Each structure stands twice: as C-alpha cells, then as structure tokens.
Amino acid sequence: MKNIGIILCIASICFSSIFAYGDALNPYIEKDNNQIQLVDQQYNEYINYADGYKINYPKHMGIDSSLSTVKTIIADEERKIEIYYDDFRDTQHSSIAYSNYSNAFIRNRKDHIKQYENTIFVNGMKTHLLVWSRKKLEKVKNDKNYYVSAEIMKNNNEVYTIFIKSETPFKNYEDYMDVINSFQLIERSETAQINTKFKSVEKNLNEETRDFYEQYFLKSDHLKWGIFEQSAPEEFWYLNALESKLDYTFEFLVRYQSLDVPFPMEEMINAYKKNRYVELTLQTMHMGQDNASITYDILDGKYDDYFNEYVKKIKEFEHPILFRLNNEMNGDWCVYSSYYTSKDTELYNELWRYLYNKFEENGVDNVLWVWNPHDLSFPNFKWNHYLNYYPGDQYVDIIGLTGYNTGNYYKGEIWRDFDEIYPVLYDEYMSIFEQPFMITEFGSNSVGGDKIKWVNDMFDRFEQNPFSNIKVAIWWNGIDWDPNQNPARIYRLDRNEEMINTFRERLKFFNKEKEEGIENGTI
C-alpha cells in the first residue's frame, strides 16, 4: 500500500452511474490500488496508478472506477467528469489525430454550439480544449448538455482526455479549468481491471416467450444455427431450396429495418407459421437521408408517435422476438454511434432506455433484448469503448457477438482466421457478462484467403464446444458491395458447390446433436 497521506473513502454504486456522494466506501478504489487524499476544504486528489495521473476534484463528488480499464468517472447529480487514457504506440494513430477525429462532431453546427476552442498547456503538456453545448432533450432526465473536453497530450502517442458534462452552464473559465489544470502525470505502477460483472434481471415474460428463452438460451446445451437471407422471412422459396441442399433447417432468421417502415407484422407472422424465430434488428435511422440529428430528434420526442405504434404492434404479435436495437454502435459507420453525438455514449443508452420503457409501459412481454457491439471499435478510442454503450442489466437479456473476417479487398483490412476473432472475444465477454450469448451475425469473405479452411476451422471449434455460453450462431449470407457495385466482401455460403457441400457435411454434426437432445428430452 502506497503511503500518500490521509486516505478518504468516496463512493459510487457500480456501473449504473448512480453515485453515493460523500464519505461512503467505494470498493473499487482500494481494489485497483488507486488512492484518494485530502487537498483542502474544497478538493480531494484522486491518484490513478494504472493510468499514471493524479487530479483534484470537488470533494463532495463520488468516484466510479468499476470500469477502470476504460475510464474513471467523478460525478455528482449535476456534473460528470470522465477521464480516459489512450496509448497509440504500435498503432497508426497519434495524439493529434485522436483529438481531431474525436471532435469531428462539432462540424454539425445545427445541433452543436461551439463556445470556445483553443490550444493550451496543462503542466507543460499541449492540450486541445473544446467547450460546446446542445439543446436540452425532452426525454433525458437531468440532461447534461453543456460540455468541456480537454485532450492532454503526454507525447505523440499517449493522450489523456478529461470529458466534463454539466446540467447547467459553466459559470466561467475557472469553473472547469481548476480541475483540468490540477492534472499531473505520475509513474504508472498498477494494472487496471474491470471491477464489476453484468448479469440478467428476471423479466415479466409471457409463457411462450419464457419457454423460448429457457429452451434456447438459459438451459440449452446445443448450438443452434441461424441465417440472414435477404428474401426471408418475407418469402421462403429461396431459403427452402438452400436448406434442402444443406439438409438443415435454420431456426433463426434476421430481419433489418429502419425508421422508414413500421413493424413488419406480416413477415413476423410468416416466420412464426414456418417455425422460425426472428432477430428483429431496428436501426434508428432513415435510408438515404441525412441522419446527423436522428438520436437528438428521437430523444426530443419527435418519434413518439412512430414508437407508440411500433410497440403496440409488437405486443399484438405476442410471440417471442429477439429484439436487437442499434447494433455495432461502437462503429462510426452507424449513425447512432456517439461519434455523431458529442462523443457522449450516454445518449445511446438514454435512447435504449427510452424505448425499453415504452415497451414496459405498454405491457410488452414477448421481447428479449439483444445488446450487440462489434468486436472491433472504430475509432478504437477509450471514449468509444463498447462497454460505454452498455445500458444496464435491467435492459439486456442476451449479449450479441459480432466479428467478421472481412478479407483484404479494402486497403487496411486483413484476413482474420476464426481463431483470431472468437476465442479472445468469447473469453473477454465471459469475464464481464453473465447473460447468455449469441453470435448475431458473422461470416468470412471469399477475398483474401482460403474460405473453405476458415469454415472448417469454425466448425471444428464449435464441435469441440469451447463456447458453451454461445447458444445461437447466425451466418450472414450476403455481399457487401463497393461504390462501383463490385462484390467487395462475399460472405455467401452458396456461391459454389464446394462451399455448399462443406456446410452440408459439417452441419450434420448439429443435426445429430439436436436429434440426440430430442431423444434425451433436453430439447
């Protein structure tokens, strides 16, 4: 234990960002070997040995270090300070590039009001300072819409970010600079860790949905396969022919939709009549339109009528739905990523909770909520870390895994073997989440390597059963096209007979496993 003076105990309540302010125990501070000491009657000093810094903060505020590998939060009811450390050594990023890319949202002058921007120095370190605001959002309680971000550049490869959000306007320059100017480097001597674990909360589900959840997720010891085939579940003629060739019936399908269309009732009924379950993926965006303001608009109540009708139709459907909302949110290719909304990941969570609460208010009891980051965050910055987008245990029933072998059609992309993606991802998620898992979509490109070998390696892994908490795996049977409409990422399994034969032979294992489960009464 390091001898640094008077040690104070400040508290937080885990990851929920609901803090106990004042002199209550924060179990994570001591667990990380980080320290708090008294400065004066107004400030305490927080010392983070893992990330190598110390900083003063108003002593009435609480500290949450439950996700200390990602960030430290210092907060009270009115204000929140998030502190991130990024190390870009062995990457193509730099501190300056990080700062420029992180603050690109400010170009959206419709929604963001820039109040101040400058380059300053904090204890000799070059620092980019940005102060801005946005309008308060109707659906966000205690909306913290006044922002300050300071990117403190230790060197060309290491940068610290102090991100401050406030419910009320900052009084003056000193109102935030007193904290920022207190930031100092210290020697790094500890290892940060995740100090919490997320788990399911029991839900009020109808009998059919409860049985479905238990059979396929909570009690299942047999991997089930699903497929994304664009024509299904609207039509089944192509999928039926493909399944006949594969001698396998996919029980799970994927249906994507935007805000341009209502709940797809006819397709959901069509799937149900054919004994298929749908992973209904709602992406809060409009196709072919400017979506820069979409998250703000939803949280300002402009889509209440749409969602009221949407939720009503889901309840009318009655049967089980795997509801996947705004997947791959940690990728800047998604308009609901915080890259577009003040790099404030809490707004993603607010949207999730807003919609979840609508389901609750309308008595929807046939939905299982699937939360699904991408395995790679882009940009790979700490403020965009996938755990920042976790809305809370109450709101998540199933953890979705998504990692693609994109091949090397595009510059900068590389061929990734199955074992380079899923074993590491699975182990990491198992250390953090207790909910059941599903691979919500995945596949391998045909461009850049031996796809047949990739598929065989995948099946070998699943047959060896190292991923017992993955209950469903869904192959994405589609093509990503380049701007000239040339096939760039070919994920289809039906492009040639060799691939079809490979899938057919390897799926026999899962057909046999299913038959044995039925005989034993476990399915």
Q: Return the active site residues.
A: 328, 441
Beta carbons within 10 angstroms of residue 241's beta carbon: 11
CA neighbor of 474 nearest in space, from 353, 324, 257, 314: 324
Whose tokens are 């009549």? That residue is 273
Residue 167's identity, in one-letter code, is E
Q: Is 100 left (phi over 0), alpha (psi -120 to 50) or beta?
A: alpha
CA neighbor of 238 nearest in space, from 504, 514, 477, 479: 477
Q: Which residues of 386-414 are buried (b: 16+ CB within 10 A; e: fewer)?
A: bbbbbbbbebbbbbbbbbbbbbebeeebe
H helix runs in 63-183, sequence order: 95-102, 174-181
Beta bridge partners of 38: 44
CA neighbor of 499 nearest in space, from 460, 453, 442: 453
CA angle 49, 53, 56 (to 5 degrees): 115
Beta bridge partners of 47: 35, 54
> For residues 79 and 72, is the Cβ–Cβ distance under 8 A?
no
Alpha-carbon distance 412 to 257, whole Å?
A: 30
Cα distances from 330 to residues 160, 307, 337, 381, in angstroms, run 20, 24, 6, 10
